[in-house]
């Protein structure tokens, strides 16, 4: 299914004439930046977690960004993922969009844009900035042909996210280089390195709050906060107040899904009753609660009312 995203607050009209009522990324992030709340951008791993996150958004009257890693796209397949998304979001009453997280592959970017993803993070942070800029400009113009949006990144976020990235902290670029990249590339959201990291933090990170403030004040572009799992509530509050309108959460979903599955499996073993749907219900409820907790904490609850 080839998708092209039209822009009237999230109406996506596809070649098949199926109308999918999802929002464009900037239509979700613009009010969040203006009113200084954070929209959870949650990496799902299967259709059950996709449904649990969407369900949390509807219950909380919250916007939400559903993200897929390249690994998830490869594992499930873009057409099965997008068909599930289209079926689950048909008629949904809160602003939601589908975003491709950290993607160094131009082929996967094109595949997801064609399939109907609303936005992509082109992760060319391993490239020299000039090459990253040149390629990001191409991705922006490709995305625009689909009415889609682009997140840009010029420094790797520390840690490995579903096989992408490295545990060695990357060198940070100067503020001027960041500002120049944002202005010339035309990206809609920017992901700086501010001392944040993917995965579990061994100790509370020392974050560069000023960097977020400087980028947002000087460009008006919202910042994506990566490595959300494990940050303290005060850290989220401060960063969201400075313009982190998109807040990425992945590890917390994996933990919620797998740890609740483990509990359910232990219970099944103790009772010698093996009901797969009970296992899935338990794990889905745990993911849903995790998403609700983040919506409350980031101030996005009730914003879609
Ligand atoms: P965590 O895994 O630390 O929540 O980070 C998520 C993220 O930034 C996805 O890009």
283 has a pLDDT exceeding 70: yes
166 has a pLDDT exceeding 80: no
Q: Is residue 193 within 6 Å of ligand 1 at its C-beta?
A: no
Q: Is residue 40 within 6 Å of ligand 1 at its C-beta?
A: no
* Residue 303 in domain: no
13 has a pLDDT exceeding 70: no
CA-wise closest residue to 13 among 29, 28, 1, 25? 1
* Residue 96 in domain: yes
Ligand 1 atom nearest to 228, measured from its CA: 4
Q: What is the mean pLDDT of residues 273-281?
A: 98
* Residue 4 in domain: no
Largest CA distance in the chain: 62
Taking the C-alpha atoms of residue 67 and residue 192, their distance in angstroms, rounded to an integer, is 18
- Please list, in sequence order, all residues whose beta carbon lies within 8 angstroms of the beta carbon of residue 138, skipping any fewer than 6 positions away: none
9 has a pLDDT exceeding 50: no
User: Ligand 1: distance of its center to the CA of 112 in Å?
Assistant: 20
Name the residue with tokens 């844009």: 113
* Residue 3 in domain: no
User: Ligand 1: distance of its center to the CA of 205 in Å?
Assistant: 14
Ligand 1 atom nearest to 249, measured from its CA: 4
* Residue 304 in domain: no
* Residue 225 in domain: yes
Taking the C-alpha atoms of residue 92 and residue 60, their distance in angstroms, rounded to an integer, is 13
CA–CA distance from 218 to each of 121, 178, 179, 212, 221 (Å)? 21, 10, 8, 10, 8
CATH code for the domain in which residue 90 is found: 3.20.20.70
The per-residue pLDDT for 293 is 98
Q: Is residue 162 within 6 Å of ligand 1 at its C-beta?
A: no
CA R_g for the chain = 18
Q: pLDDT band for 20, please (50, 70, 90 cuts).
A: very low
* Residue 2 in domain: no
Name the residue with tokens 């889609």: 148
The one-character DSSP state at 188 is S
Ligand 1 atom nearest to 197, measured from its CA: 3
- Please list, in sequence order, all residues whose beta carbon lies within 8 angstroms of the beta carbon of residue 91, skipping any fewer than 6 positions away: 21
Q: What is the mean pLDDT of residues 69-87?
A: 98
Q: What is the mean pLDDT of residues 265-279?
A: 98
Q: pLDDT band for 74, please (50, 70, 90 cuts).
A: very high
Q: Is residue 104 within 6 Å of ligand 1 at its C-beta?
A: no
Taking the C-alpha atoms of residue 294 and residue 297, their distance in angstroms, rounded to an integer, is 5
Which position has the higher pLDDT, 284 or 15?
Answer: 284
Q: Is residue 211 within 6 Å of ligand 1 at its C-beta?
A: no
The per-residue pLDDT for 15 is 47
Q: What is the mean pLDDT of residues 53-70?
A: 98
Q: What is the mean pLDDT of the chain?
A: 92
Judge whether 253 and 287 are in contact, CB under 8 Å: yes
Q: What ranges in the chain are assigned the alpha helix state H? A: 25-35, 47-60, 70-76, 78-89, 106-115, 129-145, 175-185, 209-219, 233-242, 251-271, 276-298
* Residue 73 in domain: yes
How would you class 265 by CB atoms within 10 Å of its CB: exposed for 0-12, middle for 13-18, buried for 19 or more? middle
User: Ligand 1: distance of its center to the CA of 17 in Å?
Assistant: 35
User: Ligand 1: distance of its center to the CA of 14 in Å?
Assistant: 30
Q: Is residue 102 within 6 Å of ligand 1 at its C-beta?
A: yes
Q: pLDDT band for 163, please (50, 70, 90 cuts).
A: confident
The per-residue pLDDT for 41 is 98
Each residue's pLDDT tens digit, 123-154: 999 999 999 999 999 999 999 999 999 999 99
Each residue's pLDDT tens digit, 177-207: 999 999 999 999 999 999 999 999 989 999 9
Q: pLDDT band for 99, please (50, 70, 90 cuts).
A: very high
Q: Is residue 198 within 6 Å of ligand 1 at its C-beta?
A: yes
CA-wise closest residue to 109 among 166, 148, 61, 155? 148
Say which of 101, 123, 162, 188 is annotated catalytic: 101
User: Ligand 1: distance of its center to the CA of 227 in Å?
Assistant: 4
pTM summary value: 0.92
Ligand 1 atom nearest to 196, measured from its CA: 3
The per-residue pLDDT for 21 is 61
Q: Give the domain extent around 114.
A: 9-298
In Å, how far from its chain's centre is CA 75? Answer: 18
Is 101 catalytic? The answer is yes
CB atoms within 10 A of CB 206: 7
The per-residue pLDDT for 114 is 98
Mutate to test the pocket of ligand 1, among 70, 228, 294 (most ligand atoms within 8 A of CB): 228
25 has a pLDDT exceeding 50: yes
Mutate to test the pocket of ligand 1, among 165, 248, 256 (most ligand atoms within 8 A of CB): 248
The per-residue pLDDT for 171 is 79
Domain tally, the chain: 1
Q: pLDDT band for 164, please (50, 70, 90 cuts).
A: confident
The per-residue pLDDT for 70 is 98
Q: Give the rounded percent of residues in the chain with a pLDDT score beyond 90.
A: 86
Q: Is residue 153 within 6 Å of ligand 1 at its C-beta?
A: no
Phi, psi of 232 (to 5 degrees): -80, 155
CA-wise closest residue to 122 among 150, 158, 156, 144? 150
274 has a pLDDT exceeding 70: yes
């Amino acid at each position: 299914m080839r998708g092209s995203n039209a822009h009237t607050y999230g109406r996506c009209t596809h070649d098949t004439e199926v109308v999918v009522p999802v929002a464009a990324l900037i239509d979700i992030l613009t009010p969040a930046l203006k009113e200084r709340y954070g929209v959870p951008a949650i990496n799902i791993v299967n259709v059950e977690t996709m449904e649990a996150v969407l369900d949390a958004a509807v219950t909380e009257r919250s916007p939400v960004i559903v993200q897929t890693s390249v690994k998830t796209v490869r594992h499930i397949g873009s057409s099965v993922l997008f068909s599930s998304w289209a079926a689950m979001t048909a008629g949904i009453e809160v602003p939601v969009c589908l975003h491709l997280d950290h993607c160094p592959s131009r082929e996967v970017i094109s595949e997801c844009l064609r399939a109907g993803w609303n936005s992509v993070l082109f992760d060319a942070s391993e490239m020299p900035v000039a090459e990253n800029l040149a390629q990001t400009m191409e991705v922006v113009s490709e995305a625009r042909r689909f009415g889609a949006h682009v997140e840009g990144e010029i420094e790797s976020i520390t840690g490995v996210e579903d096989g992408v990235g490295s545990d060695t902290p990357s060198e940070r670029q100067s503020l001027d280089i960041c500002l120049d990249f944002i202005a010339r590339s035309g990206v809609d959201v920017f992901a700086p390195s501010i001392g944040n990291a993917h995965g579990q933090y061994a100790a509370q990170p020392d974050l560069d709050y000023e960097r977020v403030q400087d980028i947002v004040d000087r460009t008006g572009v919202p910042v994506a906060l990566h490595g959300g799992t494990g940050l303290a509530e005060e850290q989220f509050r401060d960063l969201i107040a400075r313009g982190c309108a998109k807040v990425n959460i992945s590890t917390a979903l994996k933990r919620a899904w797998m740890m609740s599955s483990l509990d359910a499996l232990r219970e099944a073993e103790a009772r010698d009753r093996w009901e797969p749907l009970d296992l899935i219900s338990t794990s889905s409820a745990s993911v849903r609660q995790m998403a609700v907790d983040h919506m409350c904490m980031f101030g996005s609850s009730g914003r879609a009312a």
